[in-house]
Structure 1
Amino acid sequence: MATPKNQDDISAAPDPVTVELANIPTPTTTTVKKDSDPFLVAFDQPYDAENPIDWPTGRKWMVTDVLSATGFNRIMVSTIMAPALSTIANELNMSSAESAMSLSIYLLATVFGPPLIGPLSEIYGRTVVLHSSNVWFLVWNIVCGFAPTKGTLIAARFLAGFGASAIYSLAGGVLGDVWRPEQRGSSLGVYLIIPLLGAAVGPIIGGFMAARTTWRWMFWATSAFQAVMILVSYFSFHESYGPLILQRRAQRLCKETGESRYHTRGETIDGNRSAVTILMRALSRPVRLLLFHPIIQVSAVLSGFNYGILYVVLSTFSALFTSQYGQSVEISGLHYIACSLGELAASQVGAPWMDYLYKRLPAHKQNPESRMPLMFPSIIITWVGALMYGWTAAYRLHWIVVDIGVFIMLFGMQLGGLPITAYVIDTYGEHTSSAMAAQQFLKSLMAFLFPLFAPSMYVALGYGWGNSVLALGGLVVSVPLLIFLWKYGARLRAKAISTK
């Protein structure tokens, strides 16, 4: 068989292990020649008002901003409890391990949520998944605020995290739906502005609430914000999943014309499969991508390692300033501003730079691998910052120097996170949500596990040698995998396989 030019030219083989990317058109490849099949429903070219990629810019930014604000609240709740753990433990008679579990189990839920929720958005659409997960998260976050026992709090945190996790797979899918590859950086940069604040702002708000009122207001306040976001998203978020929009158009044509033969490309691919078969295949897709697609495996390890280290920083940063610098809980929480500023600066510098580099390339070289060069400087910046943070903390230099080290570290992490996210979106097209869900599984697992050993590591090695170990591990993991992906990425995309 001749080697296909790209993933859209690959035809599926009939055997159990098949080339699945043949059935995954990218967001910009929605055109299908309809001359041979007058009943095939596809987006009109070169412009179709219903095609999300052709939406007015204002509508694109609207759905992007709704996701961004929603992500801010859901991510903020993951860390807002950190400064109040001792207070919560005393009130609910929790051991130190149980109080730590009440914080981290939220992240554990995000391990299992995206692989289920992401594929559902590729069947029932983005809108229903966003609204349903919003309500689910609200209900269980309210339960957290009224929890009378430690068991109720831990269980409600897990269920709230499960609903919150939808944003991890949904956001990438929606951004892939509405933005073209040459706009990938700017869209990611704007989307990430508010959620990036969430993880760091959470401990700041939590610290002041813990000192001045009951810890339950952490959940009541974020629930009130979530209720507002439910109303906003209901009236301003538009369905962006192209195949579902086309399916609805086909159904409308069938009804208006009385002709039942109108169909979409997706319905042709599904053939005579039952609804249950289609659902099970979709739900299993993230697992199959993680098991059989090296692109997902490598990108998940690259992003997951950094994500785990991020939560090591977030879970220990406040304790550093209370224990070694003698600061209050309120003041120690303010140091998380350095974390947010580092990520925000990277998103606003890296995003336009990524688009600039992409547009400068000749058309035949504008491929997902062209995103990779931006990741090389990010590795150096990240681990130089980690060493600066660790050793300045170890020698108890002025707190501003420690904050600068953390700023540099998180700047580098975010600078590397942008291109790897864009790479996955560019590669997986209509199945971006499933791909992001597969990647998020490993990311959330590392974010859950890494903070568990962090306190013991810093006690045994100190901040200097502890961060040196993390930096060495980061170099050993990142450099070979990045070179591998850059060199063999195109070949892997062409040979990407999955169980049919």
Structure 2
Amino acid sequence: MDFVKRTFNAPNSTSRRGQNEQLFFDEDGHLQFGPDDPENPMNYAFGRKCYITAVAISLVMNATFSSSAPTGSLQGVSDDLHVSVEAAGLVTTLFLLGYCAGPLFWAPLSEFYGRRWIFYISFTFYLAFGFLCAFTPNFAGLLIGRFLTGTAASAALTNAPGVIADIWGPEKRGNVMILFATATFVGPALGPVVSGFLQLKETWRWTFYVLLWMAGATEIMLVSLPETLPMMVLRDKARRIRKAPGKEGVLAPVEVSDRTLGGIFKVALTRPWRLLFDPISFFVAIYYAIVYTLLYMLFSIYPIVFQQKRGWNTGVGELPLIGTVIGACIGGLALFVYGQVQARKPRARKPVPEDRLPGAMVGGVMFAVTIFWFAWTAEYNSVHWAVPTVAGTFLATSIVLIFIVFINYIMDSYLMYAASAVAANTVLRSACAAASPLFTQYMFDALGVGGAGSLIGGMAVLLMPIPFVFYRYGAVIRARSKFASGEETPRPPTDEEKAANDESPRMSRDRRTELAVGTSD
């Protein structure tokens, strides 16, 4: 079928634009993007893509920073609201439980209404409930506010990967996803550092004032965020075209589909639990749960090691967490370099999902080793503080390696069911991490830093074979699964394939799969 570029010299009126615009339709007669269509999110200018990505990552940073920020000022919450320090830890627990609840309805709503409006609504709720946290007169109000802000903030973690998939092609998306995943670890690590120093001079409420300032600045940026979900962009384009005389019958595919919001919710609330018990999804979820729980335990472990044992104040005692920020960046950089090296190698065969696992294999071994390293050097005050700090740096590196590699492995293995598999993993790991503030202090009081760390390290050793087993037998496991794909990994197209795609701009199966990332399927 013929396709000609849109004319840009037409008058600005909607009707004239619709008359002069030459359209592309699929074989069913529905409106589609054509090659080089400027309204296709994949064809946005590079600068615009970078801006959209920056806004999405800012939303993620708000969510992850907020999740851990109050842990540096729990003593202030305890003193002011007359609860124990352990009870004050519920401000983190309730926020992470909101992480569990939120994706179950934000993802379906995003698929039905588009990404932009869900971002607007959820983040406005986050900002509003942030005021409740900052100005509440009692502990019950603080807990309610934290649960609601966690629920609202989870929309960013659900939708941001989808935005990245909407605007970046396969050849660049992997690097952008590394940036996104690194932000999910940098945010929690910085939160306690900021609140720890605020605790020295101000009340605990200043932690929430800072969160409100961050959210307010991001809300302003959010106003300029366009819709990026392709099917909704096509719908808006069709609505505009229908205003032109003679174009009243133009319809986008989504406008003639029989999907309903109830049907989308049914899938979103049932399929993740069925996928959770599929072998690959199950063992990755267990691994994720342990790793993510330890991540949030660190926000209690570092004060034990550097404040309770060494006598540092709440500000300086949180500074070693900056080492985990550096470690997260090292992990992201290592995966970026590895990806560039692999991309330049000649392909002897088609790639498979298991090709991603060497990073997790290295990360798994490093995870176990660095836990023991951190625990037993932190046990003794005679050991210089820099030694456990460096151990924590490489512990964060291992966590990022495991997280990023396995999230990509899940997406490659489950393809069209990837969003459900990721949702199941997200709910389980958030639920486990939510409990960490409630038992960490008791655990380390009873076992000591070395003993408690060894218990966690022993669990890491038991989990260490998982990426090795999947690397060796993953193809067989996928072949026997009802949900996993036995096909090769989607890869960036060659020049010949790009030329072929220009002749037929229909979305490929891989592209449809990529759009599912971050939404319910």
TM-score, normalization: structure 2? 0.81
Aligned match of 2:318: 333
Aligned residues of 2:280 and 2:477 also touching (Cα < 8 A): no
Aligned residues of 2:133 and 2:145 also touching (Cα < 8 A): yes
Aligned match of 1:404: 390
Aligned residues of 2:276 and 2:425 also touching (Cα < 8 A): no
Closer, same or farther: CA 293–363 of 1 in aligned 2, 3 Å? farther
Q: How does 1:453-472 map to 2 (within 5 A)?
A: 453-472=439-458
Q: How does 1:444-483 map to 2 (within 5 A)?
A: 444-480=430-466, 483=469
Aligned residues of 1:172 and 1:432 also touching (Cα < 8 A): no
Paired residues, number: 461
Q: 1:238 aligns with which of 222, 226, 248?
A: 226
* CA root-mean-square deviation: 2.9
Q: Distance between the aligned counterparts of 1:164 and 1:490, measured in 2?
A: 38
Q: How big is the shift at 1:94?
A: 1.1
Q: Distance between the aligned counterparts of 1:302 and 1:358, measured in 2?
A: 28
* Structure 2 letter corresponding to 1:389: F
Aligned match of 2:196: 207
SS of residue paired to 2:203 = coil
Closer, same or farther: CA 304–59 of 1 in aligned 2, 3 Å? farther
Q: Distance between the aligned counterparts of 2:466 and 2:60, measured in 1?
A: 32
Aligned residues of 2:41 and 2:228 also touching (Cα < 8 A): yes
Closer, same or farther: CA 361–243 of 1 in aligned 2, 3 Å? farther
Q: How big is the shift at 1:114?
A: 1.3
Q: Distance between the aligned counterparts of 2:185 and 2:85, measured in 1?
A: 28
* Structure 2 letter corresponding to 1:466: A
Q: Which runs of 5+ in 2 are unaligned?
A: 1-23, 485-519
Aligned residues of 1:138 and 1:227 also touching (Cα < 8 A): yes
Q: Distance between the aligned counterparts of 1:282 and 1:405, measured in 2?
A: 43
Q: 2:333 aligns with which of 348, 351, 374?
A: 348
Of residues 435-444 and 296-305 in structure 1, the stretch that sits farther from structure 2 once superposed is: 296-305
Q: How big is the shift at 1:481?
A: 5.7
* Structure 1 letter corresponding to 2:303: S
Q: Distance between the aligned counterparts of 2:392 and 2:422, measured in 1?
A: 27
Q: 1:381 aligned to 2:366?
A: yes
Closer, same or farther: CA 166–240 of 1 in aligned 2, 3 Å? same
Q: Distance between the aligned counterparts of 2:255 and 2:79, measured in 1?
A: 57
Q: How big is the shift at 1:253?
A: 4.4
Q: How big is the shift at 1:204?
A: 0.9
Closer, same or farther: CA 321–390 of 1 in aligned 2, 3 Å? same
* Structure 2 letter corresponding to 1:392: T
* Structure 2 letter corresponding to 1:333: E
Q: Distance between the aligned counterparts of 2:25 and 2:282, measured in 1?
A: 37
* Structure 2 letter corresponding to 1:372: L
Q: How does 1:355-374 map to 2 (within 5 A)?
A: 355-358=340-343, 360=345, 362=347, 365-374=350-359
SS of residue paired to 1:329 = coil
Q: How big is the shift at 1:489?
A: 5.1
Q: 2:402 aligns with which of 402, 406, 416?
A: 416
Aligned match of 1:64: 53
* Structure 1 letter corresponding to 2:32: A
Closer, same or farther: CA 475–251 of 1 in aligned 2, 3 Å? farther
Listed one character per residue, the Cα deviations across residues 38-78 of structure 1 (whole Å, up to 9, x for unaligned) are x1333324x43333233322222211111212222221121
Closer, same or farther: CA 35–405 of 1 in aligned 2, 3 Å? closer
Q: How big is the shift at 1:213?
A: 0.9
Of residues 276-285 and 396-405 in structure 1, the stretch that sits farther from structure 2 once superposed is: 276-285
Q: How big is the shift at 1:179?
A: 2.3
Closer, same or farther: CA 163–337 of 1 in aligned 2, 3 Å? same
Aligned match of 1:315: 300
Closer, same or farther: CA 280–199 of 1 in aligned 2, 3 Å? closer
Q: How big is the shift at 1:357?
A: 2.0
Of residues 282-291 and 168-177 in structure 1, the stretch that sits farther from structure 2 once superposed is: 282-291
* Structure 2 letter corresponding to 1:105: L
* Structure 1 letter corresponding to 2:328: E
Aligned residues of 1:184 and 1:422 also touching (Cα < 8 A): no
* Structure 1 letter corresponding to 2:50: W
* Structure 1 letter corresponding to 2:386: I
* Structure 2 letter corresponding to 1:240: T
Closer, same or farther: CA 171–148 of 1 in aligned 2, 3 Å? same
Q: How big is the shift at 1:181?
A: 2.9
Aligned match of 1:40: 30
TM-score, normalization: structure 1? 0.84
Aligned match of 1:26: none
Q: How big is the shift at 1:97?
A: 3.5
Identity of aligned residues (%): 26
Aligned residues of 1:183 and 1:355 also touching (Cα < 8 A): no
Q: 1:101 aligns with which of 73, 82, 90?
A: 90
Closer, same or farther: CA 53–431 of 1 in aligned 2, 3 Å? farther
Q: Distance between the aligned counterparts of 1:299 and 1:425, measured in 2?
A: 12
Q: 2:81 aligns with which of 89, 92, 95?
A: 92
Aligned residues of 1:120 and 1:283 also touching (Cα < 8 A): no
Q: How big is the shift at 1:358?
A: 4.6
Q: Distance between the aligned counterparts of 1:482 and 1:339, measured in 2?
A: 26
Q: 1:170 aligns with which of 139, 156, 159?
A: 159
Q: Distance between the aligned counterparts of 1:115 and 1:449, measured in 2?
A: 20
SS of residue paired to 2:400 = helix
Closer, same or farther: CA 450–361 of 1 in aligned 2, 3 Å? farther
Aligned match of 1:17: none
Q: Which runs of 5+ in 1 are unaligned?
A: 1-32
Q: 1:131 aligned to 2:120?
A: yes
SS of residue paired to 2:226 = coil
Q: Distance between the aligned counterparts of 1:378 and 1:434, measured in 2?
A: 25
Q: Distance between the aligned counterparts of 1:182 and 1:465, measured in 2?
A: 45
SS of residue paired to 2:204 = coil
Listed one character per residue, the Cα deviations across residues 161-199 of structure 1 (whole Å, up to 9, x for unaligned) are 111111221122222222233323320233345443321
Aligned residues of 1:68 and 1:192 also touching (Cα < 8 A): no
Q: How big is the shift at 1:485?
A: 6.7
Q: How big is the shift at 1:280?
A: 2.9
Closer, same or farther: CA 407–92 of 1 in aligned 2, 3 Å? same
Q: 2:44 aligns with which of 55, 60, 68?
A: 55
Aligned match of 1:150: 139
Aligned residues of 2:361 and 2:464 also touching (Cα < 8 A): no
Closer, same or farther: CA 260–475 of 1 in aligned 2, 3 Å? farther
Q: Distance between the aligned counterparts of 2:262 and 2:249, measured in 1?
A: 23
Q: 1:81 aligned to 2:70?
A: yes
Aligned residues of 1:369 and 1:490 also touching (Cα < 8 A): no
Q: How big is the shift at 1:209?
A: 0.8
Closer, same or farther: CA 35–139 of 1 in aligned 2, 3 Å? closer
SS of residue paired to 2:223 = helix
* Structure 2 letter corresponding to 1:96: V
Closer, same or farther: CA 450–90 of 1 in aligned 2, 3 Å? closer
Closer, same or farther: CA 171–285 of 1 in aligned 2, 3 Å? farther
Q: Distance between the aligned counterparts of 2:472 and 2:173, measured in 1?
A: 19
Of residues 180-189 and 408-417 in structure 1, the stretch that sits farther from structure 2 once superposed is: 180-189
Closer, same or farther: CA 89–286 of 1 in aligned 2, 3 Å? farther
Q: Distance between the aligned counterparts of 2:242 and 2:33, measured in 1?
A: 16
Q: How big is the shift at 1:246?
A: 2.6
